């Protein structure tokens, strides 16, 4: 059980880091796109990468929060994950997908919520694991 808990903690850490980096990426990307021509840079094909990341973030978030819920039985992390997923899906696959400032704001907010969901799930899982020996002794 300890290795399962360790893998869950690692998955949540990866989810937190990836979601946090996604939020930073989404906040900075419009500025990079605006400045790129001044440096002779051109970007193409990055839309598919963003969409692939949203699918990956969804699979990682749902799986880690499901496993975490089995340990701590709290839905608080889901209250952050679901709106976060709704935002990133709307930003990547919906009408906001034209990559303007509203798209960046929606994706940044969604990525931030995903990161907070992973962080909360990690803390709830840690608290539940710490309480297990007390519950078993009592």
What is the average pLDDT across 52-78? 90
Residue that wins the pLDDT comparison between 57 and 21: 57
Question: Does the predicted TM-score (pTM) go above 0.85?
Answer: no
Amino acid 82: pLDDT = 97
Query: Which tokens go with 64?
Result: 């880690």
- pLDDT above 70 coverage of the chain, percent: 84
Q: What are 77-104's pLDDT values in tens digits? A: 999 999 999 999 999 898 887 767 888 8
CB 95 within 8 A of CB 76: no
Is the pLDDT score of 138 beyond 70?
A: no
Domain ranges of the chain: 2-137
Q: DSSP label at 74?
A: -
């Amino acid at each position: 059980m300890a290795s399962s808990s360790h893998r869950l903690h690692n998955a949540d850490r990866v989810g937190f880091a990836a979601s946090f980096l996604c939020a930073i990426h989404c906040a900075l990307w419009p500025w990079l796109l605006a400045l790129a021509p001044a440096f002779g840079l051109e970007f193409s094909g990055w839309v598919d990468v963003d969409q692939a990341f949203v699918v990956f973030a969804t699979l990682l978030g749902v799986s880690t929060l499901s496993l975490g819920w089995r340990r701590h039985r709290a839905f608080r992390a889901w209250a952050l994950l679901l709106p976060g997923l709704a935002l990133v899906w709307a930003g990547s696959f919906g009408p906001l997908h034209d990559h303007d400032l509203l798209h960046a704001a929606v994706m940044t907010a969604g990525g931030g919520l995903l990161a907070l969901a992973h962080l909360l799930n990690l803390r709830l899982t840690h608290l539940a694991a710490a309480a297990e020996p007390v519950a078993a002794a009592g």
